Chains A and B, each alone.
Chain A
Amino acid sequence: MTATVGNRRERIDALAARAGALPEGDGGVSLVKSAYRRLRRNPVAILGALIVVVFLLVALFAPWLAPKDPYAQSLLSEVRQGSIPGPRAGYPLGVDQLGRDLLSRLIYGARQSLLIGVVATVLGSFVGLVLGVLAGAFGGWVDTVIMRFVDILLSVPGLLMAISISVLLGQNQVSLMIAIAVTQIPVFARLLRGSMLVQRDRDYAVAAQALGVKRRKIVLSHVLPNSLSPVIVQATLSLATAIIEAAALSFLGLGDPDISRPEWGAMLASAQSVLSVRPQLAIYPALCIIVVALGFTLLGESLREALDPKFRR
């Protein structure tokens, strides 16, 4: 099964099947426990988790951590075309091209970038989840209709899809989040449907059905909870993609219209024009994006390994 994947759709389904294939008799609780045990022993997972936690804290406590007002153009009068003041007392990383403290902007930027990533992923995974559950639980024509729709979404490459939606909804932060969210829907829908199909045929589900338990109850209290682990893995990985994609949209001029608001992607895009004057203005936000994306990716990959029985051998 796992080797004969024909295309992207089936690949995701296969992934779902694999991640959802629990050993017989293994309950949800013990699964989480054993996964946690394995995670704790994995240095990669710890590194990933550490990065994620640190950045989340920075984002949460930005107002207390930032040394300066990220909007104040306090050193603007010292900025000249072709020279931007470097680090000095009170400005450990120097200032940007409008004389604003770079460190403070990076700190507030964590807030903005993570917010976009998290909201987009939660939104995308939720809609995908609903579609997947409906398809997986009802089957039949509901399944066909939903999955055809998902196929259509999948037939437009992600970035193009995000561009179309941003253009359609106009330039603002919400439309940016929605644009990224829509590109995430198909993955989650397929993932959940696939892993539900696997769960549905499990002994406990069949047994429950034989005992006359209502279908809705089986789905909600047995099948769904057991299908969630691949979704959590995928959501962690998707967060990384969402943050990178937001940066790309900013670069294409489809980002937040309030350009004063610190956001890594926008900072990176606007620093391109002073790349030869002060490359740090581009490098620092780029590093932030890379490190956060790396953190989520490492965490996601280790979660997958921890939850995947195949890796237990």
Chain B
Amino acid sequence: MLRFIVRRLLQLIPILLGLSILLFAWLRALPGGPAVAALGERATPAKIAAYNEAFGLNQPLWQQYLKFLGRAVRLNFGTSQTTGRPVTDEFLTRFPGTVELTVFAMVFAIGVGIPLGYLAARKHGTWIDSSSVIGSLLGVTIPVFFLAYLLRLIFAVQLGWLPGSGRQEVRLEATHITNFYVLDGLLTREWDASWDALLHLVLPGIALGTIPLAIIVRITRASVLDVANEDYVRTAQAKGLANNTVRRRHILRNALLPVSTTIGLQTGLLLSGAVLTETVFAFGGVGSTLRQAINTRDYALLQGFILILAIVYVLVNLLVDISYGLLDPRVRVK
């Protein structure tokens, strides 16, 4: 097992290196190059020259890249042009919100998706089956930001059931320790703050969780149908085992293997899907910050955020692989 993990980790190195080259090239290829990206378009030639001198932009490209890499390894991605704060700090302030949102969205998608997919498979061919298939198709094709707007219009604005923006009611003046607001409320015993933060996750969480929900329903359904036809299930049934036992021990457990892969993959993707959802819900996370950075052309922040998000995405996938290796010994051997 250890060898499997080590091998996976080693495979990451060329990917991360390639990624850093790509993003290094990206900032360099921007109109005007890094100096203009950092100083703005009105910068005088003298200022640009001074900047190039100060940041070593006159050196050969490979030397510049090594420096960029050196800084990146130490998680130094420069400072944001709009806020003047280090990009890494910005990320760390925003990331907890996005993590909370992603976790909520996944819990929603899994909690609803697996039972629904399983039900659809068991009632194969009935209206429950076909409507869940249609629903899951719709879930993938509806533009996320439109769904987010609809959810907010209906449940936050017209019905007023749930908060429609932000991460927490400001009037609560909750104490923030970790920036995970739900957790903070628990740590400081401000239960109402925790509950409020949780309520704020509901609508954006559902909007964000719709695509994974749709995919999980489909995969669960297909995989349960697959497994139900396998010989060992028929054997178990022939042995006269109770239907419930067969379902739990044989069908569900085996069917969930491919589902768990999907879950891991989707979790990684949600981190970027949050750009749209967080923007609609004015949710102060990584995604809404990225959106602002696009508007203000804050290149340093864009570069840093995209690189960090890609690393997180790769790491999440790695975790999925490893956990999969734990679940299914065949993977390790291969």
Contact = CB atoms under 8 A, between A and B. Distances in A.
User: Do A and B touch each other in the complex, judged by CB within 8 A?
Assistant: yes
15 contacts: A6-B325, A7-B261, A7-B321, A8-B265, A148-B14, A151-B15, A156-B313, A157-B309, A159-B275, A160-B272, A160-B309, A164-B26, A248-B276, A268-B143, A269-B145
Nearest to A246: B143
Contacts of B306: 156, 160, 163-164
Q: Is the interface of A mostly helix, strand, loop or mixed?
A: helix
B317 interface: yes
Interface stretch (B71-79, B109-117, B197-205, B326-334): B326-334
A252 B292 CA distance: 9
B23 to A, nearest CB: 8
A286 B153 CA distance: 15
A290 interface: yes
Of the four ranges (under 10, 10 to 19, 20 to 34, 35 or more), the interface on chain B belongs to 35 or more
Interface in B292-313: 294-295, 297, 299, 302, 306, 309-310, 313
A149 B17 CA distance: 11
Given A248-B276, A294-B141, A157 B313 contact: yes
A5 B258 contact: yes
Given A4-B330, A11-B261, A157 B137 contact: no
Interface of A: 3-8, 11, 148-149, 151-152, 155-160, 163-164, 167-168, 170, 240, 244, 247-248, 251-254, 265, 268-269, 272, 275-276, 279, 282, 286, 289-290, 293-294, 297-298
Interface of B: 14-16, 18-19, 22-23, 26, 29-31, 137-138, 140-146, 149, 153, 157, 257-258, 261, 265, 268-269, 271-273, 275-276, 279, 290-291, 294-295, 297, 299, 302, 306, 309-310, 313-314, 317, 320-321, 324-325, 328, 330-331, 334
A168 B142 contact: no
A155 B138 contact: no
A240 B211 CA distance: 14
Nearest to B12: A155
Contacts of B295: 253
